[in-house]
Structure 1
Amino acid sequence: MLDRVLIFIAKHAGMLPERLVRGLFLFAADIAWLTRAGGVKQLERNLSHVLHDRNRSEHDGVWAAIQNRMHLRHVSHRAMRSYFTYFSEAMTVGGRSDECLSARVRGAGPGCGLIIESTRAQAGSAPIAMGHQGNWDYAGYWAYRDVAPVTTVAERLKNEELLKTFVDIRRSLGISILLTGQPGLIGKLEEKLVKPHVVVPLLADRDLSRHGEFVHAFDSMIRVARGPATLAYDTGLPLYVVNMYRERLHGERRRTARTPYGYVCHVSAPIDVARFAGLPREQAIHDISQAWVDVWSRGIAQHPQDWHMLQPIFIEDLDFSRLKDVPDEVLALIERRRRGI
């Protein structure tokens, strides 16, 4: 049912009032949050790790625990509204002008000028690590417009018509799409990166294969995709990290954007992979993965309400019977936690 609704909206994006579509999606977000349906419970499990250091200690009393729970529910409500807003924006992007879209997203951060200089003014290219945060389609549009042509990977969906809809939307934004499950995918991305003026952003905070990289994040460990670290190591290119979050718009920018909120693509200073060059390949890929997750985690902690992670990624929630190559360190940590050590 939801798939058909999304496809219908995308096909009639120019005819449907965006404010109405956004309002309907926000209403659906509120219902899902109130009933704790549609992944809300897992979202709150994930957010509890992000909010752990700020909201919990071993000396907390009952009242503090209640406050922490209320704060978690508040953040998860905002996160669901942010997530559903993303869908309303993605499905109606075909009805938006370039001027409108340009007003909705901007670049920032210590690496923003550097990546534009190296990929636009010079002949460089860049891999980028991202998470499921903000509106990654708008991030691709911003990169295509202000940085360099974009090639990325999209998850292959069971519903072929919905998959085609998402691919068409992204291509309309100037994004070249490869699909998960293709043989030699990393090699194809590396072929893109050795050419000038290319950026390859990858959503990597959730691994879709059975061979992800386990890294420390917040008060636990998560399993991330190896793609960004592998591309950076194999090509020798600096790896950038992008955190994306919403900001309130004002004045002329708000009028042009025709929405009260826009987005910031915060680009980190580049991670110099040359310092990992002397390590064995597998160790280097692990250490580079840890390096970008350290940067990404700080951005998530600052804007947890815009992290749309409704699937299990922390080791406490993973089904290890389905995974391969699980390090002994991870298995030992799981065992200590089960025993309460």
Structure 2
Amino acid sequence: MNKFLLTTLSLLTVSAVQASGTDNFPNQPLKIVVPYAAGGGTDIMARQVGRALSEVVKQPVIIENRPGAGTSIGATAVTNSNANGYTLLWGDNATYATNTALYKNLSYDPVKSLRPVSTVLTGSLVLSVNKNLPANNIKEFIEYAKLNPQTMSYGTAGNGTPHHLMMEALKLASDNINIVHIPYQGEGPAMQDLVGGQLQTMFSGARLASAQSKDGKIKVLAASGKERNQILPDIPTISESGLPDFAYEYWHGISVPAGTPDAIVNKLNAALTTTLANKELVDWIATTSGAYLRSSTPEEMAEKIKEDIAKSKDLVTKIGLSLD
């Protein structure tokens, strides 16, 4: 048998094996790495989506929590895994965009090290104030801040979180109102101090704010996103309240290691698209977090990452923030 024929047969054999692997994908459990601790909001949502995805792909979907370093530990673990479609990353704004602006020595490259599969959801935080603050809407909030510079403080879930960056963006959009940042280890402790009067304002998840506002302990002024939050549909967005160009949202998406074959990425995308259209899941996410399930093509997610990286770098540069 000549060399040409041997080479041809070898290529055909390799192609047949690859095609067979792709055709049968997935034929073993999928693992979704969540770069946050178990029990938190992101983890709970990921587990619900994972259960629904399992029904679509007919395989178990395992959630593995790898928290730490602003989601970098989990993201790096996925980038170092096999590019076979069985290890996925559940990331958010920080993972895919903000970290590139906040960390000079990031342990992974969200553009080069990861391949987008689909966005999962998008949502907004809500701006609340202590019940005694004389402001009942965004206009009054900004006016009060301008008249009382450096007397107001705001809490966040930590440096570099969406809570932090949204408030800094609002400060810039409001002619640089002067409100002092107090970072906390999570939004729960910050909310306790907002209720107690140690803080005057903060961005938080809608469910947390809703629970406190129903008891009259705080006032919710506006939602940060393009759409009203589904948990608090009567609360206007900031853009509806006098700052038409303001719209800051958090979003989550799933990716795989760079080098994952097109056919596998497309299969995962199709499975996620079906999963995220599940009405029971859509309703659960809406009532639990106020977020909207949003699937996308891999290309659309890649473009969103690109846009958010540019947006994050611009904001971080303007406020002079760096975490390393």
- TM-score, normalised with respect to structure 1: 0.29
**TM-score, normalising length from structure 2?**
0.30
Higher helix share: 1
